[in-house]
């Protein structure tokens, strides 16, 4: 067998060494007032600080962005619906056991959480499901007025929705139909959305509004969501009356991870949900969570996607230099990491630091304004005899990997973690 060229040996050893260390994704820090340049500089310093002890392999923000490329919207969707979907599942489970009184509060909570998530993704499908189930539960305890109230909202957002007559009793199906018909019997309304600077996408109730115009909408509360240029977003609700035509001027701003959190508890919950969503799609052992947690203080911890657990937090008073204080604390945090790439059992904590998630300019740009995906570059190499028909055909995707077809050949392929990838290849006989 032909040996691997000596050029590949140090590269192979380097890759093996990197894989032996637990990987920690660096996605910036939640510090108010940092611009993009300062945020990226801090992220670079965090990578250096994490790797200073030789215990972990810290991934730069560019490397993390490459791992997430094409999946940013999945992360945001996960963030927007996770808690609401969990409440919806629990509510359905109680309803299936005929515990209607127990199901109703969970379904109400699901609806609130899913409506809050519309600021992130603008898609009300799960919200409509929650309202539908909530109306069913209310009707099951004889609260027909309450059922009609939420079913009317279902008709506003999804006029074609119906109850399955096989799954529900005729009286409930008729009640739903009456509620929907009452809404649809009203004259439709028209909405025109105007956005300064233009928009890439305008959704009204989760449906694309060509030219920013939506016509013949049922009267009621509607949800407008806009994807602007450069990662900007906009969201608003508008109450339309029957037969009304209205123009809505929507101001865009930075993408938001959720409704503004007022209390430390709310900030901690949103921090937890953001990093759980990120961990679903970033193929890493750990994620660094760092930022300001109150006036004059900072905290940092680790999140482990595999075990869905957070480490205990390190905290400190920053004395006017939150970025520098975080960098100083980071090396000690690596002592919380096990050799298996998880958080040590004695360093796991149910508490999550309460951060203002919107203040991480690096992570916000990574998810809301990612670099465009690079079209796959395909190269074909043939066997040594130069015969494409009889030789080995290699199909190589830059930055993604290799597929070898024909000839029974195998290959050694190495690549950098840069988005475009550097491929060094050769057949092994």
Judgement on whether residues 251 and 199 belong to the same structural domain of the protein: yes
Q: Which of 349, 295, 288 is nearest to 317 (CA)?
A: 295
Residue 422 has pLDDT above 80, yes or no: no
Judgement on whether residues 350 and 402 belong to the same structural domain of the protein: no
Judgement on whether residues 378 and 364 belong to the same structural domain of the protein: no
Position 103 in a domain: no
Position 109 in a domain: no
Position 169 in a domain: no
**Residue 279 contacts residue 272 (beta carbons within 8 Å):** no
Position 235 in a domain: yes
Give strand pairing partners of 59.
Answer: 25
Place of tokens 């506003």: 156
Give strand pairing partners of 58.
Answer: 24
What is the predicted pLDDT for the residue at 262? Answer: 80
Token digits for 308?
Answer: 């869905």
Place of tokens 């009889």: 390
Judgement on whether residues 347 and 306 belong to the same structural domain of the protein: yes
Residue 339 has pLDDT above 50, yes or no: yes
pLDDT greater at residue 386 or residue 229:
229
What is the predicted pLDDT for the residue at 379? Answer: 46
What is the predicted pLDDT for the residue at 426? Answer: 43
Judgement on whether residues 205 and 282 belong to the same structural domain of the protein: no
pLDDT greater at residue 229 or residue 158:
158
Judgement on whether residues 337 and 425 belong to the same structural domain of the protein: no
Position 155 in a domain: no
Domain extent, residue 54, equals 21-70+262-368
Q: How far is CA 219 from CA 152, 190, 246, in A?
A: 10, 9, 12
What is the predicted pLDDT for the residue at 406? Answer: 42
What is the predicted pLDDT for the residue at 372? Answer: 76
What is the predicted pLDDT for the residue at 88? Answer: 97
State the average pLDDT for the chain. 86
Rounded Cα–Cα distance for residues 55 and 21 (Å): 7
Position 303 in a domain: yes
Judgement on whether residues 383 and 364 belong to the same structural domain of the protein: no
CATH number of the structural domain spanning residue 200 = 2.60.40
Judgement on whether residues 233 and 196 belong to the same structural domain of the protein: yes
Position 177 in a domain: no
Q: Which of 47, 37, 61, 34 is nearest to 322 (CA)?
A: 34
Q: Domain count for the chain, please give it.
A: 3
Tell me the CB-side half-sphere exposure of residue 360, using CA atoms within 13 A. Answer: 26
Judgement on whether residues 353 and 309 belong to the same structural domain of the protein: yes
Lowest-confidence segment of 91-100, 122-131, 394-403 by average pLDDT:
394-403
Rounded Cα–Cα distance for residues 406 and 409 (Å): 7
Q: Which of 368, 384, 408 is the last residue of a domain?
A: 368
Contacts by 86-92, CB closer than 8 A, 24 or more apart:
87/113, 87/130, 88/114, 88/126, 88/129, 88/130, 88/133, 91/130, 91/133, 91/134, 91/137, 92/133
Judgement on whether residues 230 and 297 belong to the same structural domain of the protein: no
**Residue 300 contacts residue 288 (beta carbons within 8 Å):** yes
Rounded Cα–Cα distance for residues 327 and 318 (Å): 11
Q: What is the CA radius of gyration of the chain?
A: 26
Residue 399 has pLDDT above 90, yes or no: no
Judgement on whether residues 205 and 268 belong to the same structural domain of the protein: no
What is the predicted pLDDT for the residue at 381? Answer: 45
Give strand pairing partners of 203.
Answer: 208, 225
Residue 377 has pLDDT above 50, yes or no: no
The per-residue pLDDT for range 267-297, each reduced to its tens digit, is: 999 999 999 999 999 999 999 999 999 889 9
Residue 317 has pLDDT above 60, yes or no: yes
For residue 260, what pLDDT band results from cuts at 50, 70 and 90? confident
- Tell if the pTM clears 0.85, that is, is over it: no
CATH number of the structural domain spanning residue 316 = 3.40.50
Q: Which of 225, 257, 289 is the last residue of a domain?
A: 257
Q: Using alpha carbons only, what angle is made at residue 133 by residues 129 and 137, rounded to the nearest 5 degrees?
A: 170
- The alpha carbon dihedral of 74, 79, 84, 90 has a sign of positive
Position 16 in a domain: no
* pLDDT, average across residues 90-95: 97
For the chain, what is the largest distance between any 2 Cα atoms, rounded to a whole number of angstroms? Answer: 81
**Residue 178 contacts residue 188 (beta carbons within 8 Å):** no
For residue 19, what pLDDT band results from cuts at 50, 70 and 90? low
**Residue 27 contacts residue 61 (beta carbons within 8 Å):** yes
Place of tokens 């009707």: 139
Count other Cβ atoms within 10 Å, centred on residue 15: 15
Judgement on whether residues 316 and 354 belong to the same structural domain of the protein: yes
Q: Which of 257, 273, 299 is the last residue of a domain?
A: 257
What is the predicted pLDDT for the residue at 374? Answer: 60
């Amino acid at each position: 067998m032909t040996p691997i060229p000596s050029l590949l040996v140090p590269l192979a050893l380097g890759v093996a060494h990197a894989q032996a260390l637990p990987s920690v994704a660096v996605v910036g820090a939640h510090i108010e007032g940092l611009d993009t340049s300062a945020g990226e500089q801090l992220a670079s310093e965090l990578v250096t600080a994490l790797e200073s002890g030789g215990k972990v392999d810290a991934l730069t923000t560019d490397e993390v962005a490459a791992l997430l490329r094409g999946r940013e919207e999945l992360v945001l969707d996960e963030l927007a619906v996770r808690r609401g979907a969990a409440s919806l599942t629990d509510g359905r489970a109680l309803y299936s056991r005929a515990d209607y009184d127990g199901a109703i509060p969970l379904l109400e909570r699901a609806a609130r959480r899913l409506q809050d998530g519309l600021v992130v993704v603008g898609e009300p499908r799960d919200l409509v499901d929650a309202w539908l189930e909530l109306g069913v539960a209310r009707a099951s305890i004889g609260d027909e007025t309450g059922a009609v109230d939420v079913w009317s909202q279902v008709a506003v957002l999804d006029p074609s929705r119906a109850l399955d007559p096989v799954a529900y009793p005729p009286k409930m199906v008729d009640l739903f139909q009456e509620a929907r018909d009452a809404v649809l019997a009203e004259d439709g309304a028209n909405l025109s959305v105007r956005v300064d600077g233009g928009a890439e996408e305008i959704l009204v109730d989760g449906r694309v509004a060509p030219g920013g115009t939506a016509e013949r909408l049922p009267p009621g509360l509607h949800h407008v969501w806009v994807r602007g240029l450069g990662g900007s977003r906009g969201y608003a609700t508008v109450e339309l009356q029957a037969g009304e035509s209205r123009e809505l001027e929507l101001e865009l701003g930075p993408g938001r991870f959720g409704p503004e959190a007022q209390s430390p508890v709310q900030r901690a919950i949103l921090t937890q949900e953001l990093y759980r969503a990120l961990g679903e799609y970033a193929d890493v052992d750990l994620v660094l969570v760092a930022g300001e947690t109150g006036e004059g203080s900072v905290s940092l911890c680790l999140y482990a996607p595999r075990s869905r657990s957070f480490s205990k937090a390190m905290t400190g008073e920053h004395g006017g230099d939150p970025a520098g204080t975080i960098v100083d604390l980071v090396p000690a945090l690596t002592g919380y990491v096990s050799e298996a790439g998880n958080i040590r059992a004695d360093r796991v904590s149910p508490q999550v630091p309460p951060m203002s998630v919107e203040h991480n300019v690096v992570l916000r740009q990574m998810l809301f304004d990612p670099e465009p995906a690079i079209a796959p570059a395909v190269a074909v190499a043939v066997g040594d005899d130069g015969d494409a028909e009889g030789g080995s055909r290699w199909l190589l995707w830059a930055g993604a990997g290799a597929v070898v077809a024909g000839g029974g050949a195998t290959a050694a392929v190495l690549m950098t973690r840069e988005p475009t990838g550097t491929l060094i290849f050769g057949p092994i006989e």
